[in-house]
Amino acid sequence: MNHHAFQPPFPRRRRDRSVAAQCNTGKGMGRGAALMLALFAMMVVGTTTLSYVASRETSSSIAANAQLAADARTLASSGMSIAKGILRSSETIWRRNHVDGVLLNNYSLDGGTVTVRLVDIVKRANPANGGNIFPDDATTEVEVTVSSTRGGATWNSVANMSIPSVVKGEYAIFANKIMIVDGSNNFIGRWPNAPMSAQKLRVNIGTQADLAFLSNVYPWFGSGVWLQGGCRFESEVAGSTPSDPDSMKATWIYYPYSATGLIVQGAKASSVAAKRMDPLDSIRMVNPPAPPAVGGTYTNYTNNYILTGGSYSLNSFRVRAVFLPQLFTKNFEVRGGATVTLNTGTYEVYGSWILRDSRIIINGDVKFVINPNLALTGLDWQNSSVEINPNSTFEIYNGYSMDVRNCWVGPRKQYICNSVAIDGDPHKQNWFAQFTSNDCYPVAPTSPQYMEPWRVRVYPMRQFLSSFFLWDIRDTSIVGSLFLPTNPIRLFGRTQVYGRVAANHLLIYDTASFFYDHALDLVTGFTEGRAPSRGGDPEDMFPSRIVSYGFNAEAAR
């Protein structure tokens, strides 16, 4: 917990620097801390639809002067507005920056002081928390108490707030230059199994495309988004207003402030809302992380490492030729129905990772680096599954191209049915036409069991001419985050991606579809700078209703 008080974040266009500066005293944050919070805005951000559930105001003490009491009440109302601003700001991590729930302590305002306290409503209702009732990263229901003091009069205002989403939504898809959806039945929307999908939040798509040039004849010569007739989107979205046609659309596509031409075109262009970014929101994709190197204790293989059939449990290794590894590539191959468990560690292959008709189990935090060199294709997978154990992560750093066909990448979860433990995801069995119904799954599930998509991350490795190679995924189901800022990626056949994807060019064909998990809004994203809002007027985010003025004179008699 950061033991600092907040600098209240007012909307950028109306920020009162003189008031904000008052917080930088005593326990107040310095400029460096404020900047750090701004840098964290992509990972944990403010709120967009804090719905005011209830408000009750009670007077702690009423001074003889009725005007002072009215002033204290007004001051408490202003304090509540500040609290709402903090909770919705993209520049603060309010869930962490409090001291035992105290967000602001005796903050000077308009001739008086206000103190803001936060309580996690859900945690308070659970005795198992042992008195820890203060917000943390999982808080979604919060009670805000504002205590004001002015001229000897005090006032308490209490509001219960629900925080179902974030004000700066991440991009479900980010296509740096070109995005073409040209299939017979392509869906872009929410992942039904994701916990936040029930909130029906808007799906954001971003692009840095700034000109759609000769789009009808030579789309590759320009940049932009093309949505052809087979593209479908969500039909419902939270917070829609009939008077605002854009708000009724569940998918918004953001393009740069500096764009000079049409950005979204095609038969289904009217199904989405095209939004020009504000100048500060015109952002670029971040660079992919540098690949790790194998270290510590590991096994070194100087020839092809081939596993056929059987079960294996592996730890860190390197597959690399003794001389001139850039010329003499060596492969890691898993074939013939083998089951291979990769345990925590870093793995390096100077060649290709060839996977055929087999099963990979990820156990722990696994990083796999594939430098294909003259092999050209780094990932060469067919008819196989990669299953992630609970609390495990899988990072792939791949050079040059990728060819993944008829594979399944997702959670490895056991479930109990009639007191029998069954291994694996029924969706995986269905994917390979091996599903057998039982009392727990009479019908094959249409998507994988839920797993946080950030647990699987695929990155490119920057090397000579690597950005010219295509990454192809065909007839494959993937739960994960695909990040290729320099590469084009193509999704073919019945491919399904559950998570998010970013690429220099994104091409979607056949019935390939995409399902976003809004929990990724809270995880570091694809871009530097600020991700876009979920839409709507930021000044109308917090409708409030006065229930009472806090002092019932009749009841006090």
Instruction: Give the pLDDT score at 69.
Output: 75
When pLDDT is averaged across residues 74-94 and rounded to a whole number, the result is 74
pLDDT in tens, 447-471: 999 999 999 999 998 777 778 889 9
Phi, psi of 418 (to 5 degrees): 55, 45
CB atoms within 10 A of CB 139: 17
Q: Which of 197-211, 340-354, 378-392, 430-444 has the lowest mean pLDDT?
A: 197-211
For residues 430-449, b (16+ Cβ closer than 10 Å) or e, as one string?
A: bbeeebeeeeebeeebebbb
pLDDT in tens, 331-352: 999 999 999 999 999 999 999 9
HEC string for 49-81: CCEEEEEEEEEEECCCCHHHHHHHHHHHHHHHH
When pLDDT is averaged across residues 169-195 and rounded to a whole number, the result is 92
pLDDT in tens, 264-286: 989 999 999 999 887 767 677 88
The domain locations on the chain are 12-167, 169-288+479-534, 299-413+449-461
CB atoms within 10 A of CB 171: 26
Instruction: Give the pLDDT score at 531.
Output: 61
Cα(444)–Cα(488) distance, rounded to whole angstroms?
33
Instruction: Give the pLDDT score at 214.
Output: 46
When pLDDT is averaged across residues 241-261 and rounded to a whole number, the result is 88
How is residue 21 written in tokens?
């500066």
Q: Answer for the pair 201, 238: CB distance below 8 angstroms, yes or no.
A: yes
Phi, psi of 538 (to 5 degrees): -60, -20
Q: Mapping DSSP to helix (H, G, I), strand (E, B) and coil, where does residue 199 land? A: helix
Instruction: Give the pLDDT score at 32.
Output: 39
When computed from its CA atoms, the radius of gyration of the chain, rounded to whole angstroms, is 27
In this model, does residue 18 exceed pLDDT 60? no
Cα(131)–Cα(119) distance, rounded to whole angstroms?
11
Q: Mean pLDDT across the chain, nearest whole number?
A: 79
In this model, does residue 87 exceed pLDDT 80? no
Q: Which long-range contacts (CB under 8 A, 24 or more apart) does 64-67 make?
A: 65/151, 65/153
